[in-house]
A and B are shown apart, each in its own frame.
Chain A
Amino acid sequence: MNKKIFLIPAILFFLLIGVFFYLLLIDRDPSELPSVLINKEAPQFKAESLFDEKIIISNTEFGEEIVLINFFATWCLPCREEHPFIKKLSNEPGIKLIGINYKDKKNIAKKWLNEMGNPYSKVGVDRNGRIAIDWGLYGIPETYVVDKKGIVQYKYIGPITKKTYKKFYSQIKKLKNEKN
């Protein structure tokens, strides 16, 4: 047996190093973590509405336009930072924004939205975080894009920023232009 056979683990090692460096150096988007909900029907939920006594039933919200479900809380600093971009999204046509107030206090949330501006067409209350678990939430803020057929198409983890807004919105635009 040739001593050269010991080259094999060395080659494998360097190949592995190559793979690691490649993955480190390419521009990977940490907000694009895979979600097991993609291409599946949006999880159903019933949530108390923040501003009134009504109950929001998720089924009635999907099926007409693109819906963005944005999980946020007043105690979450990145949520505050992303808020202007959520407002920007609410001004784009053909998108319905639903906010889910995660583990927060109703009156504080109401005050926060009144002060900062309310971009949401509806805000549901997720007091104990169970709705979030149904959506596979890792932490807030997180935004889910649901298409006109009620299928989850995209999960965005973390705050939407100046840098990421364009790319995120272009994903939504693609969905808008797709099936009718």
Chain B
Amino acid sequence: MKKIKLYHYLTGFFIISITTFALSVEPEEFMKDPKKELRAREISKNIRCVVCQNQSIDDSSAQLAKDLRLLIRQKIREASTDKQIYTFLTERYGDFILLNPPLKTSTIFLWLFPFGLFIIGFFIILKHHKKSKIN
């Protein structure tokens, strides 16, 4: 394996990057208007697949994910706004269906806690560092 040439690396890289294009969205779902299709994809990426839970419906191959993808496309065709589509889904599935939980009073702790911890940790380390310098 001495002569691993540049093109070996490039081929490997190319293959790996191709696999990230593996879609769960099937050709028959695509909208004719590419701008609308892009909008559908963007919205789908924000919607959690409640069956698989850690994937978006854009990534998931679950049947419900497909149904929701089709529903989003239908709503786009019916001239719904993004906000209307998100509202439609959260009315039925709750905020849980959004991959980005909204910033509400109930979720503010969820959003700020990691930052809070980080800041506390930062100051602890800073103080400790100062102390050890004095020593």
- List residues of chain B with CB under 8 Å of any chain A CB: 50-51, 63-64, 67-68, 71, 90-94, 121, 124, 127-128, 131
- A136's partner among B67, B94, B127, B131 (CB-CB below 8 A) is B94
Q: Which residue from chain A places its CB closest to the CB of B121 in the assembled complex?
A: A9
- Inter-chain contact total with CB atoms closer than 8 Å: 35
**Interface SS of B by simple majority:** helix
Besides A36-B91, A138-B64, A139-B51, 14 new A-B residue pairs in contact (Cβ under 8 A), listed by A number = A1-B128, A6-B124, A34-B94, A36-B92, A37-B92, A103-B63, A130-B71, A133-B68, A133-B71, A136-B92, A136-B93, A137-B64, A138-B50, A139-B64
B51 touches A133 (CB 8 A): no
A78 and B73 CA atoms in complex are apart in Å by 31
Chain A residues near B91 (CB, 8 Å)? 36
Q: Which residue from chain A places its CB closest to the CB of B94 in the assembled complex?
A: A36
Chain A residues near B131 (CB, 8 Å)? 1
Interface size on A, residues (CB 8 A): 20
B124 touches A135 (CB 8 A): no
A117 interface residue per 8 A CB criterion = no
Chain A residues near B71 (CB, 8 Å)? 130, 133
Chain B residues near A9 (CB, 8 Å)? 121
Q: Which residue from chain B places its CB closest to the CB of A34 in the assembled complex?
A: B94
